[in-house]
Amino acid sequence: MKTNIQKITPFLWFDGQAEEAAKFYVSIFKNSKINAVSHYGKDMPGPEGCVMVVNFELEGQGFMALNGGPNFKFTEAISFVVNCDTQEEIDYFWEKLTADGGKEVECGWLKDKYGLSWQIVPTALGDMMSGGDAEKSNRMMKALFQMKKLDIEGLRKAYEGR
């Protein structure tokens, strides 16, 4: 029997916090779970018995987290976008992902306590950006560039010229 395997899976490198990070992310997103945890065995590159890889899902999207050591760190070159329908959703994800040492960046971007970059974005942003009116889009983008956490009403007001 063939297993249904996701075609593309983000693979995240941690320095000893893979399981902790997976539990953190699963606690934030609904419809999420840890599927499997594997451990380093004898004669493997990590300490025997320590967590090696965590396979988990966030909102149905599969991820893998590896305890690979201190060699690599996250950069802003990769981020995950969380599309939000309401300001309440934006506020929720912003608060949860910046908790315990996360950092607000700008324009809806943040870094969580593990250094992973996220974009917390209203779904309405796409409509405003692709609405066909360059002047409205430009006003909205100027407002967006002044924000850290995005404010849907502020973006709409700028878009509408209010």
Q: What is the CATH number of the domain that holds 162?
A: 3.10.180.10
Q: In the prediction, which pLDDT does 101 show? A: 97
Residue holding tokens 């941690």?
14
Phi, psi for 12 (deg, rounded to 5): -105, 130
What is the β-pairing status of strands 51-58 and 33-39?
antiparallel
How much is the average pLDDT of 128-144? 89
Q: In the prediction, which pLDDT does 139 show? A: 94
3 pLDDT band, cuts 50/70/90, is low
Q: In the prediction, which pLDDT does 35 show? A: 97
Residues 47 and 92 in one domain: no
Residue 66 lies in a domain: yes
pLDDT for 74 beyond 70: yes
The domain that holds 35 is classified in CATH as 3.30.720.100
Residues 19 and 39 in one domain: yes
Residue ranges of alpha helices (H) inside the chain are 18-28, 87-98, 124-129, 134-145, 152-160
Residue 53 lies in a domain: yes
Predicted TM-score of the model (pTM): 0.92
162 pLDDT band, cuts 50/70/90, is confident
Q: In the prediction, which pLDDT does 53 show? A: 98
**Percentage of the chain modeled with pLDDT above 70:** 98
Residue 54 lies in a domain: yes
pLDDT for 32 beyond 80: yes
How much is the average pLDDT of 33-44? 96
The amino acid at residue 36 is A
Q: What pLDDT digit, counting tens, does each position of 75-97 carry?
A: 999 999 999 999 999 999 999 99
Residues 85 and 145 in one domain: yes
Residue 141 lies in domain: 74-162
Residues 62 and 87 in one domain: no
